[in-house]
A = this chain, B = another copy of it.
Amino acid sequence: MDRSVYSSPPLSRVVVSGGTHGNELAGVCLVREWLRGDSAPCLERSSFTAQPLLSNPRATEQSVRYVSADLNRCFKTHTLSAPPSPSDPYELVRARELDSLLGPKGSEGAVDFICDLHNTTANMGACLILYSLSDYFCLHILHYLQTRMQSAPVYCVVFDEPPSEAYSLDTIGKRGMALEVGPLPHSLVRADILSQMSEGVKLILDFIDLFNRGTVFPPCEVEVYRKLEGLDFPRDPQSGELSGTVHPERQDRDFRGLTTVLGPWGPLTSS
């Protein structure tokens, strides 16, 4: 266990982005509210003011995940640095634009922190998505949220990838995370999920402000989830169409262990 003190300069350039997937509406609604100025004070802290950003305006306008390519898969280093071509999809062009605004990825000029807002139809509660098991700054944020969040349970998924291979928007800042809140149907907004996302953002910005002002966060432990394997749905061999669903006893039980079922056994007799 690494118990060395982790220290870094204060964070001043903080971005909260939404609409990276245009049909995940809680983030879109919050960012639009902030951009209109209605609730901009939500982003102000004594040591910094976070900047709201609508990441994929065209997909947001159409209320679709993306127009031509998944924006949130466009931020690998080699994708960003590939020579531009007139046939590049809209989202790749936008990814390079965001990289020049908020990055460049991996450089000293990059913003200090990006929190990218997502929604999911899965019952994930408020879930932080990180790319490194030794990202102590973000793991402290996780602990801060887990001990304070009132409106939803807080989980964390870590995809352990080198930064150059991490493909999501939040990886072009010096630090970052996705905040994924669900369940929320695509292209729809619910007040309960909006409140959960608002509370998550508030706590993340509160943490950064406390950090900036010299708070020492004591050592702590957190539980995180990692991807071991992906399982596809059963499909019809001819058409490839889904031929099964999540079992009703498993549906909505995200982050819970599988029940072990024993049997059926063969017959038992005293013969």
Which residues from chain A sit less than 8 Å from chain B, CB to CB?
29, 32-33, 36, 38, 121, 183, 185-192, 194-195, 236, 239, 241-243, 245-248, 251
In the complex, the answer to whether A191 meets B29 with C-beta atoms within 8 Å is no
CA A194 to CA B246, docked complex, whole Å: 11
In the complex, the answer to whether B121 meets A195 with C-beta atoms within 8 Å is no
Q: Which residues of B contact A241 (CB under 8 A)?
A: 32
The residue on B at minimum CB distance from A28 is: B241
Determine how close the nearest CB of chain B comes to the CB of A109; give it in whole angstroms. 32
* Copies per complex of this chain: 2
Q: Which residues of B contact A247 (CB under 8 A)?
A: 191
Would you give 13 A-B contacts (Cβ < 8 Å), ordered by A? A29-B242, A29-B245, A32-B239, A32-B241, A38-B243, A121-B188, A183-B185, A185-B186, A186-B188, A189-B245, A190-B245, A190-B246, A191-B248
CA A158 to CA B189, docked complex, whole Å: 27
Q: Which residues of B contact A33 (CB under 8 A)?
A: 243
| Residue from B195, B243, B246, B251 within 8 A of A248 (CB atoms) | B195
| Residue from B183, B186, B251 within 8 A of A187 (CB atoms) | B186
Sorted nearest first, the 6 A-B pairs with minimum C-beta distance are A185-B185, A191-B248, A191-B245, A121-B185, A192-B248, A189-B245
Q: Which residues of B contact A36 (CB under 8 A)?
A: 236, 239
- Given A36-B236, A236-B36: A245 and B185 within 8 A (CB)? no
Q: Which residues of B contact A239 (CB under 8 A)?
A: 32, 36
The residue on B at minimum CB distance from A33 is: B243
| Residue from B183, B188, B242 within 8 A of A189 (CB atoms) | B242
Q: Which residues of B contact A189 (CB under 8 A)?
A: 242, 245
- Given A121-B188, A188-B121: A194 and B245 within 8 A (CB)? yes
Determine how close the nearest CB of chain B comes to the CB of A24; give it in whole angstroms. 12
CA A251 to CA B192, docked complex, whole Å: 9
| Residue from B191, B236, B246 within 8 A of A251 (CB atoms) | B191
CA A187 to CA B163, docked complex, whole Å: 32
CA A213 to CA B49, docked complex, whole Å: 74
Q: Which residues of B contact A242 (CB under 8 A)?
A: 29, 189
CA A148 to CA B245, docked complex, whole Å: 26
CA A38 to CA B239, docked complex, whole Å: 13
- Given A36-B236, A121-B185, A236-B36: A190 and B29 within 8 A (CB)? no
Determine how close the nearest CB of chain B comes to the CB of A28; give it in whole angstroms. 9
Determine how close the nearest CB of chain B comes to the CB of A246; give it in whole angstroms. 6
